[in-house]
Amino acid sequence: MKFYTQSMAVVAALLLFLSTFAFADTIAEDSKVTTEFTLKLPSGKVVATTDGKDPVTFQMGKEGMMPAVQAQMLGMEVGDSKEVTLAPAQAFGESDPKAVQAVPSSKIPENLRQVGKVVSINQQNGQTLQATVVEVGEEETTLDFNHPLAGRTVVVEVKVLKVE
């Protein structure tokens, strides 16, 4: 009976030890995750992808992947893929009309005074802001400081490569 009890204790310890490996490949709130992803518009137009590039590694709960995508990744395992559709508020935010501002055209280099061009604006505090030219006039040029995908629904495809 003593041998049986000791054997059962060893088996239980072994099962407990092995079970930690079974869950190591499942994404939890504190996991470090390596993934391939594609960000696209509902039309299918690809905006960003890791296809042909290095995968992305990030810590769950931190920056590196949109929080709404991270929430959908909880419980996924290595090899799993998922497609997540995000409303503007879950992705890059709604477009803010206050972020569209007119500036003197003389402040914008001539080669960037074209609708659709992206300009960098240096602020007094040393930060640089990106803006898209939306209208060009002789006196004023209108810039949109919203993220280019603000106000847009996006689709994110992820594939889990590694979980630590």
Q: Tell whether the model's pLDDT for residue 22 goes beyond 70.
A: no
Residues 123 and 88 in one domain: no
Rounded Cα–Cα distance for residues 156 and 146 (Å): 20
CB 83 within 8 A of CB 154: no
**Is 78 inside any structural domain?**
yes
Together in a domain, 158 and 83 = yes
Q: Are 41 and 21 in contact (CB under 8 A)?
A: no
Dump pLDDT digits (tens) for 114-138.
999 999 988 889 899 999 999 999 9
pTM: 0.74
- Within-domain flag for 66: yes
pLDDT more than 90, % of the chain:
79
Q: Is residue 73 a part of any domain in this protein? A: yes
The CATH number of the domain holding residue 109 is: 2.40.10.330
Q: From CA 29, how far away is CA 163, in angstroms rounded?
A: 11
55 and 75 part of one domain: yes
pLDDT-derived band at 18 (thresholds 50, 70, 90) equals very low
Domain encompassing residue 125: 97-144
Query: Are both 114 and 65 inside the same structural domain?
Result: no
Token code pair at residue 42: 């509902």
Residues 140, 61 share a domain: no
Q: Is 32 part of a structural domain of the chain? A: yes
- What pLDDT digit, counting tens, does each position of 47-61 carry? 999 999 999 999 999
Contact indicator for 35, 161 with CB cutoff of 8 Å: yes
Instruction: Name residue 130's beta-bridge partners.
Output: 120
**Within 13 Å of residue 87, how many CA atoms lie on the same side as its CB?**
2
Reference 116, options 150, 88, 144; nearest CA is 144
Q: Can you give the CATH number for the domain in which 44 is found?
A: 3.10.50.40
| Number of Cβ within a 10 Å radius of residue 89 | 10
